[in-house]
Amino acid sequence: MRIIVSGGGTGGHIYPALALIERLKQVEPDTQVLYVGTDRGLENKIVPAAGLELKVLHTQGFKRSLSLENFKTAYLFLKAVHDAKKIIREFKPDVVLGTGGYVSGAVLYAAAKLHVPTVIHEQNSVVGITNKFLSRYVDEIAIAFDAARDQFPAAKVTMCGNPRAQQAAANANSDFSWTSYGLSDAKPVLMIFGGSQGAPKINASVVQAIPEFSKRDYQVVFATGQKRYDQVKEALKDVKVGSNVKVVPYIEDMPAKMPKVACLVSRAGATTIAEITALGIPTILIPSPYVTANHQVKNAMALVKNGAAAMITEDQLDGRSLLVQADRLMEDQAARDQMAQASKKMGRPDAADRLIKILYKAIADHQK
C-alpha cells in the first residue's frame, strides 16, 4: 500500500497516525508512507524521529470571531490545496488518511478532488471544524467515541477506536519495576500527571494534598511537567514529603509504566483515554477547560457514565477533592477492580486493525 497520512499541530493528531503506520507496516511490510504536516507543528520533530518522510504545508486556523486574518487563512488554504495536489500527483497514493488539524483539511480536500480514496479519523467525542468540513467530501469516516457518530453523515461512519489503544495493549505485560523509583512493587501506585508541560491547577492541588498523601499506605508518583518542576519543588520546600511519594518532572517511557499503575489521575485527551481503556486502568479524569468545545469533558463523560472513570472538573479541583477521590479508589481494591473491568469493556485493543480495514474498504470501493 502507498498511503499519505496527514495530521498536525498537536500530539493528539500525530500519535494515533504513527500508531496506525506502525501497525500497517507490521501487516504489510512493503507499505510506503508519506506524512504531510504543517511547517510549525510538533510533527516536524516527531515524524522524522519515527523514521518517516515528512512534507510540510503552510496553513493556519480560522478565527472564530470576525477577523481580517480569516482572509489570509482562506488564501493559505487554497494555496495549501494547490501544493497538496502536487504532492499527491507525485506520490500517487492508494489512499489518503487524515487524523485532524488544519493541514489535513487541505490534503484530504485535494485528494477528494483528485478522486483518490480518502478516510478521516476523528479521535474525540466532539468533532473538530476540519473533520466537519471534510465529512462532505471523504469516502469513509472512522470514529473513536459513539458520541461523534451523529455529527457525521451516517452512511460513512464506522466505529474503530483510537490506534494508540492497540499500541498500549501490546505493552500490557511490561516488566517495569517501581523499585527504580525507590518504591515497592508490593504496594499500589497512584500516578498523577497533567501532560508533558504539566497543568498548574492539578499541580497546585497535588501540592496541597501531599502532606496527607505522605501518610497513606499507598504510593504516589507525581509528574509536574518539565517547565513547572522547579516551581513545585519550591512550593514543597517546607513540606515533609513521605518516602511513598515521588515528585518527578516527567515520566519517561509511559507505555511501560502504565500497566503497573493501580490508578491514574490525568487529563481527558482522546489518546490518554484510548490507552487507559485498552489496559483497563482505574482513572480520575480532570478534563482541561482550555480546549475547543469543551471536548475533554465530553470525552470523560463517556467513561463516567459507564463506571469506567471518575471525574473532577477543574472548577471543583483542590487538594481535598483530589484526596477524597484518590482514597476512594486506592483504599478499596474491589472498587478499583470494578472500574478496571468497566474501563476494559470500553477499550478497543484492535483499533489499528479496524482502521486498516476501513482504509482497504475505501480503496476497494473506488476500484468498483
Tell me the per-residue pLDDT of 102-160, one tens digit each, with 9 for 90 and over. 899 999 999 999 999 999 999 999 898 889 999 999 999 999 999 999 999 999 999 99
Sign of CA dihedral 71, 74, 80, 82: negative
Known binding residue 124? Answer is yes
Per CATH, the number for 170-346 is: 3.40.50.2000
Known binding residue 296? Answer is yes
pLDDT tier at 62, thresholds 50, 70, 90: low
- The residue ranges of DSSP E strands in 130-282, in sequence order, are 140-143, 157-159, 189-193, 219-223, 245-248, 263-266
Q: How far apart are CA 20 and CA 43, in angstroms?
A: 15
Q: Kindly tell me the burial class for residue 283, based on how many C-beta atoms sit within 10 Å of its own C-beta (0-12, 13-18, 19 or more).
A: buried
Known binding residue 195? Answer is no
Buried b / exposed e over 336-350, threshold 16 CB at 10 Å, is: beebbebbbebbbbb
Buried b / exposed e over 35-68, threshold 16 CB at 10 Å, is: bbbbeebbbeebbeebebebbbbebbbeeeeeee
Known binding residue 38? Answer is no
Q: What pLDDT does residue 71 have? A: 67
Give residues with Cβ within 8 angstroms of 330, minimum separation 6. Answer: 188, 190, 216, 218, 262, 263, 336
Q: Pick one of 3.10.20.30, 3.40.50.2000, 3.30.390.50, 1.10.1040.10 as the CATH number of 2-162+349-367.
A: 3.40.50.2000
Known binding residue 12? Answer is yes
Q: What pLDDT does residue 17 have? A: 95
- Quote the mean pLDDT of the chain: 93
Q: What pLDDT does residue 8 have? A: 83
| Residue predicted with more confidence, 252 or 29 | 29
pLDDT tier at 189, thresholds 50, 70, 90: very high
Known binding residue 130? Answer is no
Max avg pLDDT among 51-60, 164-173, 193-202, 299-308: 299-308
Q: Kindly tell me the burial class for residue 29, based on how many C-beta atoms sit within 10 Å of its own C-beta (0-12, 13-18, 19 or more).
A: exposed
Same fold, 2-162+349-367 and 170-346: yes
Known binding residue 135? Answer is no
pTM: 0.87
- The domain limits of the chain are 2-162+349-367, 170-346
221-276 pLDDT, tens digit per residue, is 999 998 899 999 999 999 999 999 999 999 888 888 999 999 999 999 998 999 99
